[in-house]
Structure 1
Amino acid sequence: MSGARLDAGRMDGIAPLSLNAWLRLDVVARLFPDGPADVLEVGCGQGGFGARLAQRHRYLGLEPDARSFAVAERRLRAAGSGRVANIRLEELPPERFDVVCAFEVLEHLDDDVAAVAAWAGRLRPGGRLLLSVPAYQHRYGPADELVGHVRRYDPAALRALLTGAGLTDVRVRHYGMPLGYLLEAGRNVVARRRLGRVGAATPEQRSAASGRLLQPSVPLRGMLHRWGTAPFRLLQRVTPGTGPGLIAMARLPSKDPA
């Protein structure tokens, strides 16, 4: 998929993205397999990516948080294509997809091994799993705690997790250099102030709310985010070996011919 097709300008008025999401989208757009394809997004949040994916692919998003689901459903309806369901993966009837996506989801889950296995189990032979996570456990900070992150990932650990699920052709790359580091530092400052006020919230409640945190709801702000991140999206392309976020893609092997 070309970045130009995924980065549809008219989507700014339907599904604006956060600053960090624009950085992530730039990498995802260039990694995403050519379509059209059957695409499942696990934990689609408010549908910012989903509205864009649905423009070219047969898209289904799953979002268990009712408030985020309501926003995503409205955005997919406005985009004129794609579906979203207010359920968890285990509630989805048996169905397989060409691409399964999970952006900023894995770090919230206690059993990441089981999660990756479940996601891989929804792939057709030769299908691709595409996911993003925050990078490096030593960078775990107040912002991670605030939104219910269980962990962050070193690149080698992420590769091992994917290969352990039987996936091959694993590719892991960083994103977010240098703007992502500044955004992360700012989130940590804010999180230190907020943690005392959300201390009673469970990790599950914090994770559910994380999809709504820092999400722009005003189209104009979404457009400012898009153009404001443009030079940084170009810059991160020449620094793929560093950044506070990781994006990984792996393939489920095709069945041997009979």
Structure 2
Amino acid sequence: MASGPAEKQESTSAATCWCGGALGPSPHPAYFSCLRCGTQVAQEILSTEGLQDHYHLDAYWHDRARQLNLPPIEVRARQDFGDRIPVWYRILRRYQPTCQSVLEIGCSHGGFLAYCRSHGIAEVVGVEVSPETCAFARERFDLPHVQPGFFPAVDLPRWSYDVIAAFDLFEHLSTPLATAQAMLGALAPGGALLLQLPCYRGEGVDWPMFLPGDHLYLYTAGAIREILARAGFEVTAITKAIFWYDQFVVARRAGEVTPGQRWRDRLMAFLPHRRKTTRAERHAVREPR
């Protein structure tokens, strides 16, 4: 008997960790814990179709934000200039002071790219899953190069960047190793990869970063070093990020890092990221339309 059309598969059940390790129980009932590297693995890994639906502008930035009592994208596009965006930019300049091109994967509303452009970075390019979110970023901040889709299957104006930034992205990736390998391919010689992501340190079920459906992989510091090494990077610094539950990671192409660069990156990691944001920094980008 002929069967009907196949239903769209929104997710699959995790069988192993990204590293190939066996999975055991996690403190959270919706996750597994990798017995090899300690990564917390969501029991349900979203498919491409599931990710597209999940990160649709209305579903993610309006409906989900309302359920979690979080600000919608229109508010975040203003609020983020008062805290995280200037901090991210200072970190970028600290580790890559001569940067002239930035690719941000998971650029959200586009505010960080607009801030980089207003501070003299010549080329800023963004990638975001949802076409509607890309349209929002292009219109709000007049950003012509914000492309929809899953990196690296996107149309970019170039494939060589001084900095590749991925803030609050890596924990959402269903294929993290393949994505990291593609990031390496898009990094210019001497460039830097900058990541902000949760750092799992053995917390219990109440850890706020356990977010099934959103956070697919939650890495220890050791696990993020390993996955980036497998992709061809050398992690030169891991330090505290803006929020207590996060880690900030600096990585460069393995084989390019000189002893002096390695020493400098590790030294920079001891400097505080946060300081009082100045009025000039808050208003460096014109108020969004």
Offset of residue 156 of structure 1: 1.5
Q: What secondary structure sits across from 1:44 in the alignment?
A: coil
Residue 63 of structure 1 corresponds to 128
Instruction: Indicate whether 1:28 and 2:94 are aligned.
Output: no
Residue 114 of structure 1 corresponds to 178
Offset of residue 133 of structure 1: 0.5
Residue 45 of structure 1 corresponds to 108
Q: What secondary structure sits across from 1:88 in the alignment?
A: coil
Higher strand share: 2
Q: What secondary structure sits across from 2:79 in the alignment?
A: coil
In 2: Cα distance, 1:43 partner to 1:16 partner: 18
Q: What secondary structure sits across from 2:240 in the alignment?
A: strand
Please give the per-residue CA displacement for 1:177-222, whole angstroms capped at 9, x wherever unaligned. Answer: xxx3xxxxxxxxxxxxxxxxxxxxxxxxxxxxxxxxxxxxxxxxxx
Matches within 5 A, 1:73-112: 73-77=138-142, 83-89=145-151, 90-93=153-156, 95-112=159-176
Residue 186 of structure 1 corresponds to none
Instruction: Indicate whether 1:134 and 2:198 are aligned.
Output: yes
Q: What secondary structure sits across from 1:100 in the alignment?
A: strand
Offset of residue 48 of structure 1: 2.2
Q: What secondary structure sits across from 2:133 in the alignment?
A: helix
In 1: Cα distance, 2:239 partner to 2:130 partner: 29
In 1: Cα distance, 2:232 partner to 2:77 partner: 38
Contact 1:54–1:82 under 8 Å retained in 2: no
Contact 1:163–1:170 under 8 Å retained in 2: no
Q: Structure 1 residues 14, 114: CA separation in 2 closer, same or farther (over 3 Å shift)?
A: closer
Matches within 5 A, 1:230-245: 243-245=244-246
Contact 2:196–2:241 under 8 Å retained in 1: no
Offset of residue 63 of structure 1: 1.3
Residue 3 of structure 2 corresponds to none
Instruction: Indicate whether 1:171 and 2:237 are aligned.
Output: yes
Whose Rg is larger?
Answer: 2
Higher helix share: 1
Q: Structure 1 residues 88, 17: CA separation in 2 closer, same or farther (over 3 Å shift)?
A: same
Contact 2:77–2:109 under 8 Å retained in 1: no
Residue 252 of structure 2 corresponds to 251
Q: Among the aligned pairs, what percent are the same residue?
A: 26
Q: What secondary structure sits across from 1:54 in the alignment?
A: helix
Q: Structure 1 residues 174, 142: CA separation in 2 closer, same or farther (over 3 Å shift)?
A: closer
Normalising by structure 1, report the TM-score. 0.58
Matches within 5 A, 1:149-160: 149-160=215-226
User: What is the number of equivalent residue pairs in this alignment?
Assistant: 176
Letter in 2 for 1:134: P
CA RMSD of superposed structures (Å):
3.1
Q: Structure 1 residues 24, 246: CA separation in 2 closer, same or farther (over 3 Å shift)?
A: farther
Letter in 2 for 1:122: A
Offset of residue 68 of structure 1: 2.1
Residue 278 of structure 2 corresponds to none
Which structure ranks higher in relative contact order (CA pairs < 8 Å, sequence separation ≥ 6)? Answer: 1
Offset of residue 28 of structure 1: 3.0
Letter in 2 for 1:43: G
* Deviates further, 115-124 or 145-154: 145-154
Offset of residue 42 of structure 1: 0.7
Normalising by structure 2, report the TM-score. 0.52
Gaps of 5+ in 1: 1-11, 181-242
Offset of residue 24 of structure 1: 5.5
